[in-house]
Amino acid sequence: DVVMTQSPLSLPVTLGQSASISCRSSQSLVHSDGNTYLNWYQQRPGQSPRRLMYKVSNRDSGVPDRFRGSGSGIDFTLEISRVEAEDVGVYYCMQGTHGPGTFGQGTKVEIK
């Protein structure tokens, strides 16, 4: 299975500042169809995960444009600009290029 490694695992952030989460895969996530199936999920405390981003950089409906996904190949980043209190939670990357789909271990974002 493809191993997804996130860093850091814990990310204290000051309100209004930016946060950056890295996700690295054990092999390239470029699919034979040309797409890169890398998603980002947010799990707020006590809630189910919610998809934020699909195919690297496509924001889901209702996701603020403060969230930005980027990357290619094996290295991907989720950036949150102007962090707000509602952004607290755990963020997961997930790859779907190589079956079975696999998740990163999660990055906990908290307010300093």
Partner 1 sequence: QVQLQESGPGLVKPSETLSLTCAVSGYSIGSGYFWGWVRQSPGKGLEWMGSIHHGGSLHHNPSLQSRVTISRDTSKNVFYLKMTSVTAADTAVYYCVTDEGQWNINNWGQGTLVTVSS
Shortest distance, position 51 Cβ to partner 1, whole Å: 5
User: Which CB, 7 or 37, lies closer to partner 1?
Assistant: 37
CB 59 within 8 A of CB 67: yes
User: Which CB, 55 or 81, lies closer to partner 1?
Assistant: 55
Hey, which residues does 10 pair with through a beta bridge? Answer: 108
Write down how long the chain is.
Answer: 112
CA separation (Å) from 2 to 29, 38, 55, 101?
9, 12, 16, 8
CA separation (Å) from 86 to 7, 12, 22, 52?
21, 14, 20, 14
Shortest distance, position 18 Cβ to partner 1, whole Å: 25
Shortest distance, position 27 Cβ to partner 1, whole Å: 15
Q: Which residues bind partner 1 (CB under 8 A)?
A: 1, 31, 35, 37, 39, 41, 48-51, 54-55, 60, 92, 94-97, 99-103, 105-106
User: Which CB, 83 or 109, lies closer to partner 1?
Assistant: 109
